[in-house]
């Protein structure tokens, strides 16, 4: 069992690397602990709340009790299945704002500015605007990853965008193009009515090649000999086994499992490793640190008209949608139902959007529990750049034990101020004329919740993770003591070992993380192959001309 490259994790970045490395002629073995992605719960877009609650597909991680959120333990689902989290996520496709990547470069991730990464986003995409407009110059049309738009048939999707316009915000017909800021259509990784995960886009085509294969097992550590990674130890069918890498080992096991594997392999904060009796190979205090995530709230309104998805929220309705999808791959089952979106700025002086909206024509929780009031709609809203930072640490030296995940959510005053702003701006949007025919009473938080103290209490009890953990093996310059990998993904202090997944993000991006995670896999593939990076782009993003003095 050996190959040129051994990749740990068949998730968003791992699948992309398996495809690109095998395409170039290198031999690749991908180690994945999870099983098949076959079956309607994963492949049917509208069933998205199921797989992330099923232990067969999800690692089932939870945070430690979060002190600023009433000591609640928040769910932290990570995909344990072919395709990783791209097989259990909400399928929302957001590249991030151009400034996110310029910030990465400023933080020491040289070669990861917007101009550097835009060509990789284009290379990975096969974009379909569905006749809804967009920004073709900024988009790719022949990559493996299909990106589409929902049909937006429900009048509430249009009402949300029109309400944004009435409130004085920008419109954008392509937030993944030149202009992220504004209200407009949302994009999804759905193609021909099926979830278009990294497994469907990249891994399955790669596995058809003779030089790419997958190995099922639990990776327990990286084998390091004389300062060089030479393979990966895994448990397979109850037995330990080592898979050797002739060229390099690449960890793409998620922002939770990649730092855990590094620490189990002796790479991490020396004192923490010593506590668990692990010999230190490289003292890197940044391993597991810098953990970031997005939190969100569901602002829910009762609907005056019975036009929401609630009418299907029964066994018969779900059966009907499921049957139509199974036989034709069409209908409500063929969309994730997130079909309108917005990115806005919270206040003057914020250069680019720091609040994201997902709009949904039903009042329901992410775990599939519907609001008791019946017909309703909701906006998922949350700040994009929380200053709070947490950490992933080892619970024990046993590979089968879940790590300790502490997000340290809402640990600064700015977090609270930003969230209260999110609620108040959302209420204003739902109060516009466009919603007059539809908006009944506010279900959540409820009209009586108004003061800062009341809003804070609501946030503490109801804020949920948007499931965007990242940052725990951050990229930086080789002389940065807190960086874990250099800008080519090489683990600082160990040869032949790289990390390529959302853990390398120096700072969380604007929006959902699947797209930038795949982009990392695409770009790191070129670094692994020793290729010159794609030529830089000269396209400049739209920035609000009055951002210094105006909020909208």
| Surface-to-core class of residue 153, CB atoms within 10 Å of its CB (0-12 exposed, 13-18 middle, 19+ buried) | exposed
3-state SS assignment for residue 340: strand
Structure tokens at 255: 């922002």
DSSP for residue 402: P
DSSP for residue 68: G
Which residues does residue 228 pair with via DSSP β-bridges, in sequence order?
225, 495
2-39+198-291+470-528 topology per CATH: FAD/NAD(P)-binding domain (3.50.50)
DSSP for residue 506: S
pLDDT for res 367: 67
Alpha-carbon gap, residue 474 to 289, rounded angstroms:
8
pLDDT for res 364: 87
Alpha-carbon gap, residue 528 to 17, rounded angstroms:
9
Alpha-carbon gap, residue 373 to 310, rounded angstroms:
10
Other beta carbons less than 10 A from residue 400's beta carbon = 8
Look at residues 356, 31, 48, 336 and name the one whose alpha carbon lies nearest to residue 172.
356
Q: Which residues contact 547 (CB under 8 A, 6 or more apart)?
A: 345, 348, 349, 350, 351, 352
Highest CATH level, class, for 42-78+148-187+292-465: alpha beta
147 known member of a binding site:
no
Structure tokens at 265: 């392999």
Query: Average pLDDT of each block of 10 consecutive residues along the chain (552 residues)?
Result: 98 98 98 95 94 94 98 97 98 98 98 98 95 93 98 97 98 98 98 98 98 98 98 97 98 98 98 98 98 97 95 92 96 96 98 98 78 88 98 98 98 98 98 98 96 98 97 98 98 98 98 98 98 97 98 98
Contact 484, 108 (CB under 8 A): no
Locus of tokens 């493996």: 144
Look at residues 357, 318, 389, 360 and name the one whose alpha carbon lies nearest to residue 167.
357
CATH 3.50.50.60 residue spans of the chain: 2-39+198-291+470-528
Show which residues are catalytic. Answer: 468
Alpha-carbon gap, residue 230 to 246, rounded angstroms:
7
3-state SS assignment for residue 356: strand
Alpha-carbon gap, residue 249 to 223, rounded angstroms:
9
Kind plus residue range of the DSSP H or E element containing 392 = strand 391-393
Structure tokens at 493: 């202090």
Alpha-carbon gap, residue 520 to 506, rounded angstroms:
12
Alpha-carbon gap, residue 551 to 169, rounded angstroms:
9
91 known member of a binding site:
yes
User: 108: left (phi > 0), else alpha (psi -120 to 50), else beta?
Assistant: left
Alpha-carbon gap, residue 372 to 446, rounded angstroms:
14
On the question of a cis peptide bond just before residue 445, with omega within 30 degrees of 0, the verdict is: yes
CATH 3.30.560.10 residue spans of the chain: 42-78+148-187+292-465
546 known member of a binding site:
no
SS3 string, 75-93, reads EECCECECCHHHHCCCCEC
Alpha-carbon gap, residue 117 to 121, rounded angstroms:
6
Pairing of strands 194-195, 190-191: antiparallel
| Surface-to-core class of residue 167, CB atoms within 10 Å of its CB (0-12 exposed, 13-18 middle, 19+ buried) | middle
249 known member of a binding site:
no
Which residues does residue 233 pair with via DSSP β-bridges, in sequence order?
221, 242
Alpha helix stretches (DSSP H) within 10-94: 12-23, 40-43
Which residues does residue 343 pair with via DSSP β-bridges, in sequence order?
182, 356
Structure tokens at 82: 């072919």
Q: Phi/psi of residue 37, each to 5°?
A: -100, 10
521 known member of a binding site:
no
pLDDT for res 53: 87
Contact 263, 394 (CB under 8 A): yes
pLDDT for res 188: 98
Q: Which residues contact 526 (CB under 8 A, 6 or more apart)?
A: 20, 532, 533, 534
Contact 268, 287 (CB under 8 A): yes
Its pTM stands at: 0.98
Contact 19, 144 (CB under 8 A): yes
Contact 15, 203 (CB under 8 A): yes
């Amino acid at each position: 069992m050996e190959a040129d490259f051994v990749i740990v994790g068949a998730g968003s970045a791992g699948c992309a690397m398996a495809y690109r490395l095998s395409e170039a002629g290198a031999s690749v073995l991908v180690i994945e602990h999870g099983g098949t992605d076959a079956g309607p719960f994963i492949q049917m877009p509208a069933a998205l709340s199921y797989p992330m609650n099923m232990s067969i597909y999800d690692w089932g991680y939870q945070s430690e009790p979060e002190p600023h959120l009433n000591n609640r333990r928040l769910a932290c689902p990570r995909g344990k299945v072919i395709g990783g989290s791209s097989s259990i996520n909400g399928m929302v496709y957001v590249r991030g704002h151009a400034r996110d990547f310029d910030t990465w470069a400023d933080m020491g991730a040289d070669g990861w500015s917007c101009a550097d990464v835009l060509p990789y986003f284009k290379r990975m995409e096969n974009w379909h605007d569905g006749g809804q407009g967009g920004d073709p110059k900024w988009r790719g049309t022949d990559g493996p990853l299909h990106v589409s738009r929902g049909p937006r048939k429900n009048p509430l999707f249009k009402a949300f965008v029109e309400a944004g316009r009435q409130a004085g915000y920008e419109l954008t017909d392509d937030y993944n193009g030149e202009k992220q800021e504004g209200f407009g259509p949302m994009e999804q990784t759905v193609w021909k009515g099926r979830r278009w995960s990294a497994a469907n886009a990249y891994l399955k085509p790669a596995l058809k090649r003779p030089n790419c294969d997958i190995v099922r097992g639990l990776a327990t550590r990286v084998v390091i000999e004389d300062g060089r990674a030479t393979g990966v130890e895994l448990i397979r069918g109850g037995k330990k086994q080592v898979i050797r890498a002739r060229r390099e080992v690449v960890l793409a096991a998620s922002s939770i499992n990649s730092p855990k594997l590094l620490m189990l392999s002796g790479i991490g904060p020396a004192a923490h490793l010593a506590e668990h009796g692990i010999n230190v190979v490289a003292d890197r205090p940044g391993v597991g640190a810098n953990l970031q995530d997005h939190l969100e709230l569901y602002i829910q309104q009762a609907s005056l008209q019975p036009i929401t998805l609630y009418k299907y929220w029964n066994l018969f309705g779900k059966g009907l949608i499921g049957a139509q999808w199974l036989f034709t791959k069409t209908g409500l089952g063929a969309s994730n139902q997130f079909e309108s979106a917005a990115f806005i700025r919270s206040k003057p002086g914020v250069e680019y959007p720091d609040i994201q909206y997902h709009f949904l024509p039903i009042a329901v929780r992410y775990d599939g529990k519907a609001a008791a009031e019946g017909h309703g709609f909701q906006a998922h809203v949350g700040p994009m750049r929380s200053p709070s930072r947490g950490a992933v640490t080892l619970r024990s030296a046993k590979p089968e034990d879940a790590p300790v995940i502490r997000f340290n959510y809402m640990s600064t005053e700015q977090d609270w101020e930003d969230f209260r702003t999110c609620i108040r701006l959302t209420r204003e949007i739902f109060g516009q004329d466009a919603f007059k025919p539809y908006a009944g009473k506010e279900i959540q938080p409820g009209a009586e919740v108004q003061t800062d103290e009341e809003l804070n209490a609501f946030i503490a009890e109801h804020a949920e993770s948007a499931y965007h953990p990242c940052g725990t093996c951050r990229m930086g310059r080789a002389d940065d003591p807190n960086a874990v990998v250099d800008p080519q993904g090489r683990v600082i202090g160990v040869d032949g070992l790289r990390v390529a997944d959302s853990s390398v993000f120096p700072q969380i991006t604007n929006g959902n993380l699947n797209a930038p995670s795949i982009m990392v896999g695409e770009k790191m593939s070129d670094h692994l192959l020793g290729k010159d990076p794609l030529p830089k782009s000269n396209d400049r993003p739209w920035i609000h001309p009055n951002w210094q003095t105006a909020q909208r």
